Structure 1
Amino acid sequence: MDWQEASAYYEAKLTNALNVQRHALNLADLPQTGISEDEKNVLIDEGIPAKKQLERLKKREFRIAVVGLEKAGKSTFVNAWLDCDLLPSKGGRCTFTTTQIFSVQADSQQVLTVKAKTPAQFAQLQSDLKLTAQTEENAKKDLETISRYATTLQQVIDEGNKEIPFSRLEDIKEPLQKYVADERFAHAVDEIWLYTNKLAQAEGIVFYDVPGLDSGLAKHVEESKEMLADCDAVIIVQMFPSLRDAELKIIKFTAEGDRNVKVADKLFAFLSRIDSKKTPEAIKDHIDLAKADWIKQANLPERRIVSGTAGSHLVLSGVASEQTLKEVGSPEAVRQNLEGLTGIGDRDQLLDQVTGIRKIKSRVNAYINTERVDVLKKRCEASISQILSTSESIRSAVSKRYSDNPEDAKRQEEDSKRISFAEWWEAKWERILAELADYYDLNIRPSDRIPKNLDQLTACSKTQANFHSRYLAHVDELFSAFKERAKNRRELIFKQQSVVQFDSHKTNFDWREELYADISQMLQDISKELAIELRQEAIELVEYISSLMWNSPEVKLRLIKDAEDYVEMLNRSLSVLFLRFARPMVEALVRGPVDSEMRCSIVKRLGPDIEILDNYYGGESAEFKTLKRFANYGAKLLYDLTIREKVLGIQEIVAVVGQVTQSALTPEELLVREVEADLKAVEVYLKEAIFEAAGFRQYCSQELDRLRDKFINSQAVWSGVATNEWLGENPLLLSELPDNLKKLEVNLEVSDRLRQLTAALDKTVSRP
């Protein structure tokens, strides 16, 4: 197929391939696909030249870059090609601006476009020059020039872009010279676009003429690099037989910018200025050395290497400017010089065989008319193949884990999330158990480990210590109120008994009966308060467990359920324990007077129950060390010296009941002393024995252990609770989750992009 057919064909194929590339990259960019950076980079790297090629094809452009060192004769070469001494080519630096020359067919399409730099571009140019001015002389000179001609340069920027239509190339010679080579204006020009029908026979040919790579300006190197990465053919104008470093960069940039085509497939070398040699032998050596170097560096075939002299071509063609004639010589002088070097004196033969311009134009035109389709095919097919194969590899890899069907993808995503959450929960459960164990060791039971803070090393847990201290506080509070009631009731009973004659015996029984009923109620109250206290300890534990479960209400509901029912349950249990030891003690000390038949009977009947308290008594008073003994002696054990010495081996009187002798007391006072001594004993035993005897400490631990174990042994329940909290989007839980589990809505992005890539591939290639 011809160039137009090939251009249309590969425009369509590249468009489809780049559409595939775009979808493949969109898919690969999703982290969950697991596509490697290497695969993505293959697509990115392959897409860059493919996009540039596509843009050229859309414009139907075939771009030829004319490159080389400064003063190698690039502009002179282009002038000779155009048969018009148009571009500046005087001695010294003569090209400050990149010139693009476009091929058009009609005279009416010819126009010169001057693209001025924007203020930002001009400022950036000066900034770049300042960076290199310390090491590059040209950059330093350019800065000085810009400063010197600031007014005219600013005028170019202010005027902006210009379009100058023309019929003959000679008509635009002056503005072209001005904006390309005149340093008063050229530094403010970004690019020159010249549309002419003098370039080549084929439409869409574009010539690039850029400043030399060895100009010392990074800008020119970058421009050349970009241009060489975005061209279809390269003509290097070479004045030295061996390639210089800057010329080797041209080969490198050409290879890097068009990796699917060999340098030798698209490059032409023009060995310029052979007319400067002194002898035919020198010309031959020059050409042979250059050919050998090109074979070594790029395996460039000889048919791509042409020697000649562009300046002589302009002179012999009769189109040379005065400046060119001054530098090269008159037509006759040029003819004689070339005749002496080649043995050819005929002007037409010199133009055909020696100056090289017609020869290289012929070879380039032949390349354009025949070879460029093959090169385009090679470039595009390799690029398309790489893009499609890499994209198919990405599609295949992703489709193994994701479906491009929305319903299947949704189900897969939901299943994947559930599995991921289950895995996360399994590890989280182990952390919860560890945190609960640490909390339990520190707050509820004695730790088996030595804590970091020695102040935490206690004989009992903080919880048990708090529970005991609140028990004592309740006993103090309730007993204080009880004693006040007992005093008031005593006074009333005493008054009633004193109406006739005070009956100490009857009053003792009556008072004790009321005291017993009051104390029995007080015991119930203590039990209830203990239940409330234990509930609080349980709630603190449950709240801590709940915090581990993100404050889920299910924790309290499943461990305690109804708080009031829980207190009632605790009250029943504590009451049984409490009354098991407290009631016998109260019966023995309160219901019957000392030495009465009732007390003796009670003590005898409850002997084992009251004797067991002795094992738990933790006080220091010897009088209360044995409950049965105190029940038998009562107040005598506190104030009767004889009995104290006989029974206890102690002669001092206890300060609790005072040191008034029995003979000095009235019957009423004796009764009060006896009863108050018994009540004091009740208080002492409640504080110093009952708590331990009833096993409140153990019950507290057991109840809290029960709650803890109920939690630990219900892992399946809490797994469900955790799942519900996750599905309910509990913010505390979500804050702990990895990013892929924080959003519950199913992300079909992978599926959508996979489906788009699959559709793009199906449209482009036939896959099995």
Structure 2
Amino acid sequence: MTTWLETCQQQLLRLEKTSVLADKLITLANKTGVDIPSDLLNRLNIERPRLNRQLDRLHANRFEVAVIGLEKAGKSALLNAWLEQEILPSARERCTFTSTEIWSAQTEQDQALFIQYYSKEEISKLQLQRRDALLGTLSERERKEIQEDFDDTEKHLSKILEFGKQKAGFTQKFIDIGEISEQLQSAVFKNRAQSLAIKRIQLKTVRLRSDRDIIFHDVPGFNSGILMHAEQAIERLKNCDAIIYAKEMKQPSVTGPEKEMLAIADSEDPSVKVSDKVFVVLTQADAMDDQIDFKDTYDKHRSYWPSVPERRMIPVCARAHLVEFGIPSEDTLRRTKSADDKAKMKKLGITDGMAILKDSINYYIDNERAGVLERRCDALVGAIRQIANEVLFKLEPIYGVFDETELHEDDLLGKEFNQWWGREWQRIKKDFDTWYAEVIQGRKEADAAGSEHEELIALRAAYDEKIEAILSNLQTAKPDELKRIYTAGGTISMPDPREGNYKIREELFREIQKKFETELTDQLALALQTLIDQIARKTQTLLWETEEVRKTLLHSDADEALEQARIRNGFQVLFLRFSRGAVEAFIAKPLQARERLLNERSAEIKTLEAFYQGSDKVKREGGLTCYLRHGVWTEPANTDADISRTRAQEKPGAKTPAQEAAPIKKVLEGSEKMLEPANFESVVEEITGDIDALQDYLKNSVFYAAGFITYCNQELERIRNRFKEMEDNDRQWIGIIRTAVKYERNPNIPYSIAHTRRDFRMRREIALELKEVRDTCTNVF
């Protein structure tokens, strides 16, 4: 007996071959049009999506179970009992129609809760559908619930939309599943605004079998009266491998909404009936009066499901299971008494049924589902092969088969096309160069000087804003954090200023470096990408909006994201090359400990001075070295009195010039260092001044030293030259345009083939493709 994995591999090989055959049939249908009957095309359009969905499931190697049933049928209580933790809301209050997925996690570290919210547009769509539903025929309960949802949405709309702004949703990791109970309960029904905003909940837990990739879909919505809920439910039913159908034990009948659910599940698999993959779980089984009542009711359920094996029709007492294992919620305890549950089940002669249900599903996973998969794949392969044979029967008498000797005759796109294209390409190149000079380079005339593009001007502004944002939001530079670091390691009453200074700078240096490595370059790359997109759009326009132009120009036939990542990396390398030296110079060491750095990094410091473009003349004419050595901005040739005045101006409340003159003179003579900061406030003052100086040089020196604008212009020139060289050197554009003309893919191209020659070409191509279809059909087993 083959294993499940072996069966998957065998069926995957079959379906991939069948998929190739289906694609060939679709290609033929597009070319031959009316020659294939519409009913045959309709069958192909039905079977192809089914084939795709099954291929996706096989590639993912997941086992997806849809848990269905009417609202309040006990689905959430059933899943809670399966997980042995009352984690999913099952309170008496009505919960919203939220799609809940439970995924198996292989390890405890993989466990997580994820909540996805509706977008603003989806909220508006839901409100419109609720309004439409209220105008239709509804039961009193349905009308009340939909009206309640509509009114509550209007009431809490601003809060609901706030949740919708969380594009990435909410994620919480956990080890014990109880850690997320409060968060989940609050989200689903305690916080009304949040519950109305939730679209999907995904829970990954080791409480499902960790040796299988399993997903349980709690599928609501069939009796909600809201179209979007029903559409979500239908989509999940189409993708399921098995169904857990929660049905109240006391209701041995199948209602209208339930029939709809089962019909949808049945229609997806013509070869696999619902009875082959359904588990009928009779919930709240302990509600029966006695064994006779229980047996009569059970037999009535059996009458609705004669084809379902008895091992897949299971009475379950989910709340009794929760109480038995000591894990019920307060709501469950209010509604159930442990002693009563045990006595009632003993009276009925049943267990809570959870162990039986798990064993039944595990048996299906390990044994029965392989046979179900084989039958499903047999039907898909058979349906596509049948369609292929009927297509061949219709088309082969019409198109016949061409001899191999005719395959190279009648060059439909020969000398005449080449001459036309040669003229067009020269025109396209001239138009492109003129546009590039005017729009990208900003030249008024061909020989005039260019001006910086507005996107590159904006790039400088975005860079400055990002620098300011990073340095103004440093965690280490917050007052409380500075105080904590300063006092760490020493006594609170007498901390060591020098040690505190070093510790603050060490953490500050580490934080700044990390932020610069991870947060800065995306905005720069975005500005450049905008211009690259502009060039790509222009080239596509010049080549008559032919689809393949952009992906060929930008390498996106492989992965355009790789090209964008290369650009981001280029910005990052340029920035870090110069910013690392600046951060080290200003932040790494206190003022009194920079002598070695000044000697070892003198070249980098002079580079920063040389590229400085700020308005302060001192900062680009030797002032940086003086600041790093002495803590003041001044030119080396300045007098002692000048320096004293500078110190007094920069630090309100500083000593008088007369008081400062002597120490500064000693500093400049190199005979004595400036006094170290003696307390926390003076340490913070020194560090704050260094952060301000770092920000100034990052904005007015590193930006220019890194050559961002030059890098952008080089990248744009590379794209420009690539566009022209792809034709001048490699003749790629002529190939793309020739193919588009040959197969009539682009009516915008001003070149046409005579009808008789086109008809000859088409008939020959169809004949060859028919041969391929017959060969492929033979190889599909």
TM-score bracket for the superposition, by shorter chain length: 0.5 to 0.7
Secondary structure at the aligned position of 1:191 is classed as strand
Cα deviation for residue 266 of structure 1 reads: 0.7
Shift of 1:253: 0.9
The alpha carbon displacement at 1:270 in A equals 0.5
For 2:11 and 2:777, the matched residues in 1 are separated by 12
1:274 partnered with 2:271:
no
For the 8 Å contact 2:18–2:780, the answer to whether it is kept is no
CA radius of gyration, larger in:
1
CA deviation profile, 1:152-174 (whole Å, cap 9, x unmatched): 21121012222222212112222
**Which residue does 2:122 correspond to in 1?**
121
Q: Cα 1:379–1:287, aligned 2, differ >3 Å: closer, same or farther? A: same
**1:766 and 2:779 are equivalent in the alignment:** yes
1:341 maps to 2:348: yes
Identify the residue that residue 264 of structure 2 maps to in structure 1: 253
Structure 2 partner of 1:228: 237
The alpha-carbon distance between structure 1 residues 762 and 130, as it changes in their structure 2 partners (threshold 3 A), is: same
- Contact 1:413-1:746 at 8 Å conserved across structures: no
Q: CA deviation at 1:196?
A: 1.6
Q: Secondary structure at the match of 1:271?
A: strand
Q: What are the residue-to-residue correspondences of 1:89-104 with 2, within 5 Å?
A: 89-104=90-105
Structure 1 residue 74: Cα displacement: 0.5
Which residues of structure 2 form unaligned runs of 5+? 413-751
Whichever residue aligns with residue 16 of structure 2, its letter is: T
Show the 5 A alignment for 1:476-555: none
Q: Do the aligned partners of residues 767 and 158 (structure 1) sit closer, same or farther apart at CA in structure 2, a change above 3 Å counting? A: closer
Asked if the contact 1:102/1:206 (under 8 Å) is kept, the reply is: yes
Partner of 1:391: 388
Which residue of 2 is the match for residue 638 of structure 1? none
Query: 170, 174, 192: which one pairs with 2:182?
Result: 174
Aligned positions of 1:430-469 closer than 5 A: none
Shift of 1:176: 2.3
What's the CA shift string for 1:75-105, capped at 9, x where partnerless? 1111111111111001142242101111221
Q: Which amino acid aligns with 2:115?
A: V
Counterpart of 1:148?
A: 155
Spell out, residue by residue over 1:302-352, the C-alpha distance to the aligned partner (whole angstroms, 9 max, x if none): 22211121111111122211121112x23223212322333xxxxxxxxxx
Taking a change above 3 Å as real, the CA distance of residues 326 and 758 of structure 1, as seen in their structure-2 partners, is: farther
| 1:206 alignment counterpart | 215
Give the residue type in structure 2 aligned to 1:193.
Q
When residues 413 and 360 of structure 1 are mapped into structure 2, their CA distance, relative to the original with a 3 A threshold, is farther
CA RMSD after TM alignment: 2.7
Shift of 1:72: 0.4
Q: Deviations over 1:161-198 (max 9, x none)?
A: 22222212112222322343343212222211222221
1:745 equivalent among 742, 747, 758: 758
Letter in 2 for 1:140: Q
Q: Partner of 2:9 in structure 1?
A: 8
2:146 counterpart residue number = 139
1:403 aligns with 2:401: yes
Q: 2:373, 2:760 → 1: CA distance? A: 42
Among 225, 228, 231, which residue is 1:219 paired with? 228
Residues 759 and 14 of structure 1: CA distance in aligned 2, closer, same or farther (over 3 Å): same
The aligned counterpart of 2:365 is 368
| Aligned twin of 1:158 | 165
* Aligned equivalents of 2:165, 2:52: Cα separation in 1: 34
Q: Is the 8 A contact 1:63 1:231 kept in 2?
A: yes
Query: Structure 2 counterpart of 1:152, which letter?
Result: K
**Mapping for residues 21-36 of structure 1, pairs under 5 Å:** 21-32=22-33, 34-36=35-37
What letter corresponds to residue 261 of structure 2 in structure 1?
A: I
Secondary structure, counterpart of 2:758 in structure 1:
coil
Alpha-carbon distance, 1:744 to partner: 4.2
Distance 2:324 2:109 in 1: 29
The residue number in structure 2 matching 1:321 is 329
Judge conservation of contact 1:65–1:235 (CA < 8 Å) in 2: yes
Check conservation: 1:27, 1:754, Cα contact below 8 A.
no
**Offset at residue 396 of structure 1 (A):** 4.6
What's the counterpart of residue 378 of structure 1? 375
Extract unaligned runs of 5+ from structure 1.
343-352, 415-738
Question: What amino acid does structure 1 have at the position aligned with 2:58?
Answer: L
Work out which of the residue numbers 300, 321, 332 in structure 1 matches 2:308. Answer: 300
TM-score norm. by structure 1 comes to: 0.53
Q: Distance in 1 between matches of 2:402 and 2:52?
A: 28
Tell me by how many angstroms 1:411 deviates: 7.7
Tell me, yes or no, if the aligned pair for 1:402 and 1:412 is still in contact at 8 Å. no
Flag the 1:70–1:157 CA change in 2: closer, same or farther, 3 A: same
Pair 1:397–1:159, CA change in 2 (3 A): same
Residues in 1 aligned to 2:103 and 2:404: alpha-carbon distance in whole angstroms: 51
Letter in 1 for 2:363: A
The residue identity in structure 2 corresponding to 1:371 is E
Q: TM-score, normalised by structure 2?
A: 0.52
Q: 1:110 to 1:402 in 2, by over 3 A?
A: farther
1:208 aligns to what SS in structure 2? strand
**Aligned-residue offset at 1:132:** 0.7
Q: Report Cα offsets for 1:42-71 as digits up to 9, x if no partner.
A: 222112222111111111111100000110
- 2:90 partner letter: S
Q: Which residue of 2 aligns with 1:61?
A: 62
Asked if the contact 1:23–1:753 (Cα under 8 Å) also holds between the matched residues in 2, the reply is no
- Please report how far the alpha carbon of residue 212 of structure 1 lies from its aligned counterpart in structure 2 after TM superposition: 4.7
8 Å Cα contact 1:33-1:750 kept in structure 2: no
- Give the letter aligned to residue 355 of structure 2: R
Deviations 1:486-532, CA, capped at 9 Å, x for gaps: xxxxxxxxxxxxxxxxxxxxxxxxxxxxxxxxxxxxxxxxxxxxxxx
Name the count of aligned residue pairs. 430
In structure 2, C-alpha distance between the alignment counterparts of 1:767 and 1:58, rounded to whole Å: 19
- Structure 1 position 143, deviation (Å): 0.7
8 Å CA contact 1:229, 1:257 repeated in 2: yes
Q: Deviations over 1:612-648 (max 9, x none)?
A: xxxxxxxxxxxxxxxxxxxxxxxxxxxxxxxxxxxxx
Maintained 8 Å contact 1:33/1:398: no
Q: CA deviation at 1:247?
A: 1.4
Q: How many Å separate the matches in 2 of 1:237 and 1:35?
A: 45
Q: CA, structure 1 residues 199+146, in 2 after alignment: closer, same or farther (shift >3 Å)?
A: same
Question: 2:24, 2:326 → 1: CA distance?
Answer: 58
Structure 2 CA distance for aligned equivalents of residues 747 and 317 of structure 1? 77
Aligned to 1:359: 356
CA distance in 2, matches of 1:187, 1:755: 57
The 5 Å alignment of 1:191-202 reads 191-202=200-211
One-letter code of the match for 2:76? S
Q: Distance in 1 between matches of 2:758 and 2:70?
A: 62
Contact 1:85 1:319 in 2 (8 A): yes
Alignment deviations for residues 703-724 of structure 1 (CA, whole Å, 9 cap, x no partner):
xxxxxxxxxxxxxxxxxxxxxx
Change over 3 Å in CA distance of 1:402–1:359 after alignment to 2: same
Equivalent residues in 2 for 1:99-114 (5 A)? 99-114=100-115
Shift in CA distance, 35/185, structure 1 to aligned 2, threshold 3 Å = same
TM-aligned CA distance change 1:761 to 1:234, over 3 Å: farther
Name the SS of the counterpart of 2:272 in structure 1. Answer: coil
Return closer, same or farther for 1:371/1:410 CA change in 2, 3 Å cut-off: same
Q: Is the 8 A contact 1:241 1:286 kept in 2?
A: yes
> What does 1:706-717 correspond to in 2, within 5 Å?
none
